[in-house]
Every structure is written in C-alpha cells, then in structure tokens.
Amino acid sequence: MFTPSATSQTNTPLPSLIAGDFPRVTRKVTIASGAGLLIAGTLLGRITASKKMVKSASASSDGSQTPNAVLAETVDATAADAEAIVYFTGEFNADQLTLGTGHTADSVRDGLRDLSIFL
C-alpha cells in the first residue's frame, strides 16, 4: 500500500498509479467535508444518502464501505466539500493505492473487477 509523503501531494496522478492500457473513464465528483486530505490513488466509496465520496473503509455502514472509484488527484476536503476527478474504470497498480481501514488489495479486487477497475 502506498504511504503518502509531502512530495507526493500534487494535483496529478502518481506516474506509477496507472497500469496497462485499459480505458480510463473519469468524472468529477464531490468529496464530503471532513474527509480530510486525500491523495491521488485513494480508493473511494460513495455515501448512499448524500452521493458524496469519502475514503472507503470496510467498517462503514453508510454505503462508502463498498469501493467504487479511484481518486485521480489530490484533494483537501478537511473543512468543506471539494470537487475532484476520479477514475470509474481503469487498470491500476495495487501497491500505489491508498486503502481505507479494513481493506486490502485482495479484499477489494473482485468487487472492483465487476466495475471494470482492475488491480
């Protein structure tokens, strides 16, 4: 799993995040206020009630426990909602993803494959 450093917090995806030539579909989404500073490569889930995204954690019970997108750029949603670009499809290096508590590359791999996100 990728561990962020001060030098990795840019607004562009990590060069080694992208793997292969599988088509990548991107979209602008809203990251929920309070989600904090999220770096490119963070695995996101969608909160069912608000449709906003946060870092996916397996113990969540608001819908965000199910990963469904990869953050394409670093975003700070500490104090307010923020817009960010995410990948809804693509092939990514598992060791460059930032996974929430309770998730591992192996635990999310099959569910992501169903969404055309490949690790």
For the entire predicted model, the pTM comes to: 0.85
CATH number assigned to the domain comprising residue 65: 2.40.300.10
Q: Report if residue 1 sits inside a domain.
A: no
Parent domain of 21: 6-118
Residue 3 pLDDT grade (very low, low, confident, very high; cuts 50, 70, 90): very low
| pLDDT 10s digits, 65-97 | 999 999 999 999 999 999 999 999 999 999 999
- Report yes or no: 98 and 43 within 8 Å, Cβ to Cβ: yes
What totals of helices (H) and strands (E) does the chain contain, helices first? Answer: 1, 9
- Report yes or no: 73 and 34 within 8 Å, Cβ to Cβ: no
| pLDDT 10s digits, 93-109 | 999 999 999 999 999 99
Instruction: Return the closest-CA partner of residue 54 out of 35, 27, 77.
Output: 35
Q: How many CB atoms lie within 10 A of CB 47?
A: 16
* Element housing 38 (H / E): strand 36-38
Looking at the 3D structure of the chain, how many domains does it have? 1
Cα 29 → chain centroid: 11
| pLDDT 10s digits, 7-49 | 334 455 556 898 888 889 999 999 999 999 999 999 999 999 9
